[in-house]
Amino acid sequence: MTTPLQNDRLLRALRRQPVDVTPVWLMRQAGRYLPEYRATRARAGDFMRLCQTPELACEVTLQPLARFPLDAAILFSDILTVPDAMGLGLSFSEGEGPRFARPVRSARDIEQLSVPDPEVELRYVMDAVRLIRRELNGQVPLIGFAGSPWTLATYMVEGASSKDYAQVKGLLYDQPKALHRLLEVTTQAVIAYLNAQLAAGAQALMVFDTWGGVLTPRAYREFSLAYLARIVADLAHKTGDERAPVILFTKGGGAWLEAIAATGCEAVGIDWMVELGEARRRIGDQVAVQGNLDPAVLYAAPDHIRQQVTEVLTDFGPGPGHVFNLGHGVQPGVNPEHVRVLVEAVHELSKPYHSGVGR
Protein backbone atom coordinates (compact mmCIF):
# COMPACT_ATOMS: atom_id res chain seq x y z
CA MET A 1 0.00 0.00 0.00
CA THR A 2 2.97 2.32 0.31
CA THR A 3 4.23 1.97 -3.26
CA PRO A 4 5.15 5.48 -4.41
CA LEU A 5 2.78 6.96 -6.97
CA GLN A 6 4.37 6.97 -10.44
CA ASN A 7 1.86 9.41 -11.92
CA ASP A 8 0.63 12.10 -9.56
CA ARG A 9 -0.73 14.52 -12.19
CA LEU A 10 -4.30 14.08 -11.00
CA LEU A 11 -3.53 14.80 -7.36
CA ARG A 12 -1.31 17.73 -8.27
CA ALA A 13 -3.93 19.24 -10.58
CA LEU A 14 -6.64 18.78 -7.93
CA ARG A 15 -4.38 20.72 -5.53
CA ARG A 16 -3.75 23.35 -8.25
CA GLN A 17 -0.06 22.53 -8.37
CA PRO A 18 1.94 22.66 -11.64
CA VAL A 19 1.86 19.61 -13.92
CA ASP A 20 3.60 18.71 -17.20
CA VAL A 21 0.37 18.02 -19.10
CA THR A 22 -3.30 18.21 -18.13
CA PRO A 23 -4.36 14.99 -16.42
CA VAL A 24 -7.35 13.19 -17.90
CA TRP A 25 -9.78 10.57 -16.75
CA LEU A 26 -13.37 9.98 -17.83
CA MET A 27 -16.55 9.40 -15.92
CA ARG A 28 -17.67 5.82 -16.76
CA GLN A 29 -14.28 5.12 -18.32
CA ALA A 30 -14.95 1.51 -17.30
CA GLY A 31 -18.26 0.63 -18.88
CA ARG A 32 -20.41 -0.76 -21.64
CA TYR A 33 -18.58 0.95 -24.52
CA LEU A 34 -15.67 -1.48 -23.88
CA PRO A 35 -16.10 -5.01 -25.27
CA GLU A 36 -13.94 -6.41 -22.45
CA TYR A 37 -16.32 -4.81 -19.94
CA ARG A 38 -19.31 -6.41 -21.64
CA ALA A 39 -17.50 -9.77 -21.49
CA THR A 40 -16.80 -9.49 -17.75
CA ARG A 41 -20.34 -8.25 -17.16
CA ALA A 42 -21.71 -11.31 -19.01
CA ARG A 43 -19.45 -13.56 -16.96
CA ALA A 44 -20.70 -11.96 -13.73
CA GLY A 45 -24.28 -12.73 -14.70
CA ASP A 46 -25.79 -9.57 -13.33
CA PHE A 47 -24.68 -6.05 -12.57
CA MET A 48 -24.95 -6.38 -8.78
CA ARG A 49 -22.72 -9.46 -8.78
CA LEU A 50 -20.18 -7.49 -10.81
CA CYS A 51 -20.17 -4.79 -8.12
CA GLN A 52 -20.16 -7.30 -5.28
CA THR A 53 -17.28 -9.46 -6.46
CA PRO A 54 -14.04 -7.60 -5.67
CA GLU A 55 -12.02 -9.51 -8.27
CA LEU A 56 -14.48 -8.60 -11.03
CA ALA A 57 -14.87 -4.99 -9.86
CA CYS A 58 -11.07 -4.74 -9.87
CA GLU A 59 -10.86 -6.28 -13.32
CA VAL A 60 -13.26 -3.79 -14.92
CA THR A 61 -11.71 -0.87 -13.02
CA LEU A 62 -8.37 -1.66 -14.65
CA GLN A 63 -9.66 -2.38 -18.18
CA PRO A 64 -9.57 1.20 -19.53
CA LEU A 65 -6.09 1.71 -18.01
CA ALA A 66 -4.79 -1.23 -20.02
CA ARG A 67 -6.00 0.48 -23.20
CA PHE A 68 -5.47 4.21 -22.69
CA PRO A 69 -2.87 6.40 -20.92
CA LEU A 70 -5.40 7.65 -18.36
CA ASP A 71 -4.15 9.53 -15.31
CA ALA A 72 -6.49 7.97 -12.77
CA ALA A 73 -8.49 4.87 -11.98
CA ILE A 74 -11.96 5.19 -10.52
CA LEU A 75 -13.44 2.45 -8.40
CA PHE A 76 -15.98 0.44 -10.36
CA SER A 77 -19.17 0.37 -8.34
CA ASP A 78 -22.60 2.00 -8.23
CA ILE A 79 -23.83 4.92 -6.16
CA LEU A 80 -26.81 2.82 -5.04
CA THR A 81 -24.74 0.29 -3.07
CA VAL A 82 -25.19 2.59 -0.05
CA PRO A 83 -29.01 2.50 0.05
CA ASP A 84 -28.81 -1.22 -0.74
CA ALA A 85 -26.68 -1.63 2.39
CA MET A 86 -29.32 0.37 4.25
CA GLY A 87 -31.75 -2.45 3.48
CA LEU A 88 -33.64 -1.22 0.41
CA GLY A 89 -32.92 -4.28 -1.73
CA LEU A 90 -31.26 -3.10 -4.95
CA SER A 91 -31.54 -4.95 -8.23
CA PHE A 92 -30.91 -4.03 -11.84
CA SER A 93 -33.52 -4.98 -14.39
CA GLU A 94 -33.03 -5.23 -18.16
CA GLY A 95 -31.24 -2.25 -19.64
CA GLU A 96 -29.53 -1.96 -16.26
CA GLY A 97 -32.16 0.27 -14.73
CA PRO A 98 -31.92 0.20 -10.91
CA ARG A 99 -34.88 -0.81 -8.75
CA PHE A 100 -35.38 -0.96 -4.99
CA ALA A 101 -37.58 -3.72 -3.56
CA ARG A 102 -38.32 -1.60 -0.48
CA PRO A 103 -38.44 2.08 -1.44
CA VAL A 104 -38.78 4.70 1.27
CA ARG A 105 -42.23 6.21 1.16
CA SER A 106 -43.22 7.36 4.63
CA ALA A 107 -41.82 9.01 7.73
CA ARG A 108 -42.03 5.58 9.33
CA ASP A 109 -39.89 4.01 6.58
CA ILE A 110 -37.34 6.75 7.17
CA GLU A 111 -37.23 6.22 10.95
CA GLN A 112 -36.29 2.59 10.39
CA LEU A 113 -33.18 3.36 8.34
CA SER A 114 -29.78 3.08 9.99
CA VAL A 115 -26.20 3.76 8.98
CA PRO A 116 -24.51 0.62 7.66
CA ASP A 117 -21.01 -0.36 8.75
CA PRO A 118 -18.94 0.00 5.56
CA GLU A 119 -16.62 -2.83 6.62
CA VAL A 120 -19.60 -5.16 7.12
CA GLU A 121 -22.48 -4.44 4.73
CA LEU A 122 -20.19 -2.77 2.18
CA ARG A 123 -17.16 -4.91 2.81
CA TYR A 124 -17.17 -5.99 -0.85
CA VAL A 125 -16.50 -2.38 -1.89
CA MET A 126 -13.67 -1.96 0.59
CA ASP A 127 -12.15 -5.27 -0.55
CA ALA A 128 -12.35 -4.02 -4.13
CA VAL A 129 -10.60 -0.76 -3.15
CA ARG A 130 -7.80 -2.68 -1.41
CA LEU A 131 -7.42 -5.09 -4.33
CA ILE A 132 -7.39 -2.32 -6.95
CA ARG A 133 -4.74 -0.38 -5.00
CA ARG A 134 -2.62 -3.52 -4.86
CA GLU A 135 -3.06 -4.25 -8.57
CA LEU A 136 -2.48 -0.63 -9.59
CA ASN A 137 0.81 -0.80 -7.76
CA GLY A 138 1.24 2.97 -7.84
CA GLN A 139 0.64 3.35 -11.57
CA VAL A 140 -2.02 6.07 -11.12
CA PRO A 141 -4.12 7.22 -8.16
CA LEU A 142 -7.44 5.57 -7.34
CA ILE A 143 -10.56 7.73 -7.03
CA GLY A 144 -13.28 6.56 -4.65
CA PHE A 145 -16.81 7.91 -4.88
CA ALA A 146 -20.33 8.08 -3.55
CA GLY A 147 -23.66 9.54 -4.63
CA SER A 148 -24.84 12.74 -2.98
CA PRO A 149 -27.49 12.34 -0.29
CA TRP A 150 -30.09 14.15 -2.44
CA THR A 151 -29.34 12.00 -5.48
CA LEU A 152 -29.50 8.82 -3.41
CA ALA A 153 -32.75 10.03 -1.85
CA THR A 154 -34.36 10.44 -5.28
CA TYR A 155 -33.80 6.73 -5.98
CA MET A 156 -34.64 5.65 -2.43
CA VAL A 157 -38.01 7.42 -2.54
CA GLU A 158 -38.95 6.83 -6.19
CA GLY A 159 -37.71 3.23 -6.01
CA ALA A 160 -36.18 3.54 -9.48
CA SER A 161 -35.05 6.11 -12.04
CA SER A 162 -37.63 8.84 -12.43
CA LYS A 163 -38.68 11.30 -15.08
CA ASP A 164 -40.53 13.80 -12.93
CA TYR A 165 -39.51 13.04 -9.32
CA ALA A 166 -43.16 13.05 -8.23
CA GLN A 167 -42.62 11.09 -5.00
CA VAL A 168 -39.44 12.67 -3.71
CA LYS A 169 -40.53 16.18 -4.61
CA GLY A 170 -43.92 15.49 -3.04
CA LEU A 171 -41.96 14.70 0.13
CA LEU A 172 -39.82 17.81 -0.33
CA TYR A 173 -42.78 20.16 -0.66
CA ASP A 174 -45.16 18.38 1.72
CA GLN A 175 -42.96 16.90 4.44
CA PRO A 176 -39.62 18.70 4.34
CA LYS A 177 -38.73 17.55 7.86
CA ALA A 178 -39.13 13.90 6.90
CA LEU A 179 -36.95 14.45 3.84
CA HIS A 180 -34.33 16.11 6.03
CA ARG A 181 -34.30 13.07 8.31
CA LEU A 182 -33.79 10.84 5.27
CA LEU A 183 -30.97 13.07 4.02
CA GLU A 184 -29.41 13.14 7.49
CA VAL A 185 -29.13 9.37 7.85
CA THR A 186 -28.01 9.05 4.22
CA THR A 187 -25.35 11.72 4.78
CA GLN A 188 -24.02 9.80 7.79
CA ALA A 189 -23.93 6.64 5.68
CA VAL A 190 -22.09 8.43 2.84
CA ILE A 191 -19.52 9.93 5.24
CA ALA A 192 -18.83 6.54 6.84
CA TYR A 193 -18.62 4.96 3.38
CA LEU A 194 -16.19 7.55 1.99
CA ASN A 195 -14.04 7.47 5.13
CA ALA A 196 -13.83 3.70 4.81
CA GLN A 197 -12.78 4.06 1.17
CA LEU A 198 -10.03 6.45 2.25
CA ALA A 199 -8.90 3.99 4.91
CA ALA A 200 -8.93 1.20 2.32
CA GLY A 201 -6.71 3.20 -0.01
CA ALA A 202 -8.71 5.66 -2.13
CA GLN A 203 -6.47 8.65 -2.93
CA ALA A 204 -9.14 11.12 -4.05
CA LEU A 205 -12.91 11.18 -3.68
CA MET A 206 -15.74 12.32 -5.88
CA VAL A 207 -19.35 12.92 -4.87
CA PHE A 208 -21.87 12.63 -7.71
CA ASP A 209 -24.87 14.90 -7.30
CA THR A 210 -26.45 13.71 -10.52
CA TRP A 211 -29.90 15.09 -9.77
CA GLY A 212 -29.14 18.30 -7.85
CA GLY A 213 -29.91 20.17 -11.06
CA VAL A 214 -33.62 19.26 -10.95
CA LEU A 215 -34.10 21.39 -7.83
CA THR A 216 -34.97 25.06 -7.52
CA PRO A 217 -32.05 27.22 -6.29
CA ARG A 218 -33.65 27.43 -2.83
CA ALA A 219 -34.30 23.68 -2.63
CA TYR A 220 -30.80 22.92 -3.93
CA ARG A 221 -29.19 24.89 -1.12
CA GLU A 222 -31.42 23.32 1.53
CA PHE A 223 -31.71 19.72 0.34
CA SER A 224 -28.52 19.03 -1.56
CA LEU A 225 -25.73 21.56 -1.03
CA ALA A 226 -26.05 21.65 2.77
CA TYR A 227 -25.39 17.90 2.88
CA LEU A 228 -22.53 18.08 0.38
CA ALA A 229 -20.91 20.64 2.69
CA ARG A 230 -21.41 18.32 5.68
CA ILE A 231 -19.66 15.51 3.80
CA VAL A 232 -16.67 17.68 2.89
CA ALA A 233 -16.37 18.88 6.48
CA ASP A 234 -16.68 15.47 8.09
CA LEU A 235 -14.28 13.42 5.99
CA ALA A 236 -11.38 12.09 8.02
CA HIS A 237 -8.12 13.86 7.34
CA LYS A 238 -5.26 11.48 7.38
CA THR A 239 -2.75 12.45 10.04
CA GLY A 240 0.74 13.03 8.73
CA ASP A 241 -0.49 13.05 5.15
CA GLU A 242 -2.11 15.49 2.77
CA ARG A 243 -5.87 15.35 2.70
CA ALA A 244 -7.27 13.27 -0.17
CA PRO A 245 -8.80 15.81 -2.59
CA VAL A 246 -12.58 15.87 -2.82
CA ILE A 247 -14.37 16.63 -6.09
CA LEU A 248 -18.02 17.71 -5.94
CA PHE A 249 -20.12 17.42 -9.09
CA THR A 250 -23.68 18.67 -9.40
CA LYS A 251 -24.91 17.99 -12.92
CA GLY A 252 -26.92 21.00 -14.05
CA GLY A 253 -25.45 23.03 -11.20
CA GLY A 254 -23.73 25.68 -13.31
CA ALA A 255 -25.61 28.49 -11.57
CA TRP A 256 -24.28 27.45 -8.17
CA LEU A 257 -20.55 26.94 -8.76
CA GLU A 258 -19.55 29.58 -6.20
CA ALA A 259 -21.65 27.93 -3.50
CA ILE A 260 -20.26 24.48 -4.34
CA ALA A 261 -16.68 25.78 -4.26
CA ALA A 262 -17.35 27.41 -0.89
CA THR A 263 -18.00 24.02 0.75
CA GLY A 264 -14.26 23.53 1.18
CA CYS A 265 -13.92 20.86 -1.51
CA GLU A 266 -10.69 20.75 -3.54
CA ALA A 267 -12.36 20.60 -6.97
CA VAL A 268 -15.69 21.14 -8.70
CA GLY A 269 -16.91 19.00 -11.59
CA ILE A 270 -18.37 21.04 -14.46
CA ASP A 271 -20.91 19.78 -16.99
CA TRP A 272 -20.73 20.88 -20.62
CA MET A 273 -23.41 23.55 -20.20
CA VAL A 274 -20.90 25.93 -18.60
CA GLU A 275 -17.96 27.36 -20.51
CA LEU A 276 -14.81 26.29 -18.65
CA GLY A 277 -13.16 29.72 -18.78
CA GLU A 278 -16.22 31.15 -17.08
CA ALA A 279 -16.05 28.42 -14.43
CA ARG A 280 -12.38 29.24 -13.85
CA ARG A 281 -13.05 32.97 -13.55
CA ARG A 282 -15.81 32.31 -11.04
CA ILE A 283 -14.17 29.69 -8.80
CA GLY A 284 -10.67 28.96 -10.11
CA ASP A 285 -8.95 30.93 -7.38
CA GLN A 286 -10.40 28.61 -4.73
CA VAL A 287 -10.66 25.17 -6.33
CA ALA A 288 -9.55 23.07 -9.27
CA VAL A 289 -12.11 22.46 -11.99
CA GLN A 290 -12.80 19.15 -13.68
CA GLY A 291 -14.53 18.75 -17.04
CA ASN A 292 -16.15 19.47 -19.36
CA LEU A 293 -16.24 18.01 -22.88
CA ASP A 294 -19.74 17.19 -24.16
CA PRO A 295 -19.83 13.34 -24.02
CA ALA A 296 -21.49 13.35 -27.45
CA VAL A 297 -18.25 14.65 -28.98
CA LEU A 298 -17.02 11.04 -28.76
CA TYR A 299 -19.47 10.18 -31.55
CA ALA A 300 -17.63 12.54 -33.90
CA ALA A 301 -14.67 11.76 -36.16
CA PRO A 302 -11.14 11.89 -34.65
CA ASP A 303 -10.29 15.29 -36.20
CA HIS A 304 -13.38 16.82 -34.68
CA ILE A 305 -12.65 15.24 -31.30
CA ARG A 306 -9.19 16.83 -31.33
CA GLN A 307 -10.70 20.18 -32.28
CA GLN A 308 -13.18 20.00 -29.39
CA VAL A 309 -10.40 18.99 -26.98
CA THR A 310 -8.51 22.09 -28.13
CA GLU A 311 -11.55 24.24 -27.40
CA VAL A 312 -11.87 22.91 -23.84
CA LEU A 313 -8.14 23.42 -23.19
CA THR A 314 -8.33 26.94 -24.67
CA ASP A 315 -11.41 27.74 -22.62
CA PHE A 316 -9.55 26.85 -19.42
CA GLY A 317 -6.33 28.51 -20.55
CA PRO A 318 -2.76 28.13 -19.29
CA GLY A 319 -1.70 27.14 -15.80
CA PRO A 320 -2.61 24.53 -13.23
CA GLY A 321 -5.96 23.59 -11.71
CA HIS A 322 -7.62 21.69 -14.56
CA VAL A 323 -8.49 17.99 -14.68
CA PHE A 324 -9.76 17.04 -18.13
CA ASN A 325 -12.94 14.98 -18.15
CA LEU A 326 -16.27 14.76 -19.89
CA GLY A 327 -19.24 16.72 -18.60
CA HIS A 328 -20.95 13.37 -17.89
CA GLY A 329 -20.23 9.68 -18.40
CA VAL A 330 -18.97 7.93 -21.54
CA GLN A 331 -22.05 6.75 -23.45
CA PRO A 332 -22.43 3.04 -24.23
CA GLY A 333 -22.48 3.47 -28.04
CA VAL A 334 -19.08 5.15 -28.22
CA ASN A 335 -16.21 3.64 -30.26
CA PRO A 336 -13.34 2.86 -27.84
CA GLU A 337 -10.83 4.11 -30.40
CA HIS A 338 -12.41 7.54 -30.09
CA VAL A 339 -11.67 7.48 -26.38
CA ARG A 340 -8.03 6.82 -27.23
CA VAL A 341 -8.02 9.82 -29.57
CA LEU A 342 -9.44 11.96 -26.77
CA VAL A 343 -7.00 10.85 -24.08
CA GLU A 344 -3.96 11.17 -26.33
CA ALA A 345 -5.13 14.55 -27.60
CA VAL A 346 -5.41 15.93 -24.06
CA HIS A 347 -1.82 15.00 -23.24
CA GLU A 348 -0.43 16.16 -26.58
CA LEU A 349 -2.39 19.38 -26.96
CA SER A 350 -2.14 20.53 -23.34
CA LYS A 351 1.68 20.68 -23.23
CA PRO A 352 1.85 24.35 -24.31
CA TYR A 353 -0.45 25.28 -21.42
CA HIS A 354 2.05 23.91 -18.90
CA SER A 355 5.29 25.22 -20.38
CA GLY A 356 8.12 25.61 -17.94
CA VAL A 357 7.15 22.51 -16.00
CA GLY A 358 9.90 19.99 -16.53
CA ARG A 359 9.38 16.40 -15.51
Binding site for a copy of itself (CB under 8 A): 164-166, 169-170, 172-174, 213-219, 252, 254-255, 272-275, 278, 294-297, 299-301, 304, 308, 311, 331, 333
Residue pair 212/253 in contact by the 8 Å Cβ criterion: yes
- Residue 41 annotated among the catalytic residues of the structure: yes
Nearer to a copy of itself among residue 269 and residue 320 (C-beta): 269
Nearer to a copy of itself among residue 60 and residue 334 (C-beta): 334
- Residue 155 annotated among the catalytic residues of the structure: yes
Catalytic one of 9, 12, 16, 28:
28
Nearer to a copy of itself among residue 117 and residue 278 (C-beta): 278
- Residue 78 annotated among the catalytic residues of the structure: yes
Give the Cα separation of 184 and 111 in Å (integer): 11
Residue pair 234/191 in contact by the 8 Å Cβ criterion: yes
Nearer to a copy of itself among residue 134 and residue 304 (C-beta): 304
Nearer to a copy of itself among residue 174 and residue 241 (C-beta): 174
- Residue 32 annotated among the catalytic residues of the structure: yes
Q: Nearest distance from residue 158's CB to a copy of itself, in Å?
A: 12
Q: Nearest distance from residue 305's CB to a copy of itself, in Å?
A: 8
- Contact partners, residue 112, CB within 8 Å, separation at least 6: none
The DSSP element (H or E) to which 209 belongs, if any, is strand 204-209
Q: Nearest distance from residue 164's CB to a copy of itself, in Å?
A: 5
Catalytic one of 15, 20, 32, 340:
32
Dihedral sign, Cα of residue 290, residue 295, residue 299, residue 300: negative
- Residue 134 annotated among the catalytic residues of the structure: no
Q: What is the DSSP letter of 24?
A: B
Give the Cα separation of 287 and 307 in Å (integer): 26
Q: Nearest distance from residue 215's CB to a copy of itself, in Å?
A: 8
Catalytic one of 8, 71, 78, 271:
78
Active site positions, annotated: 28, 32, 41, 78, 155
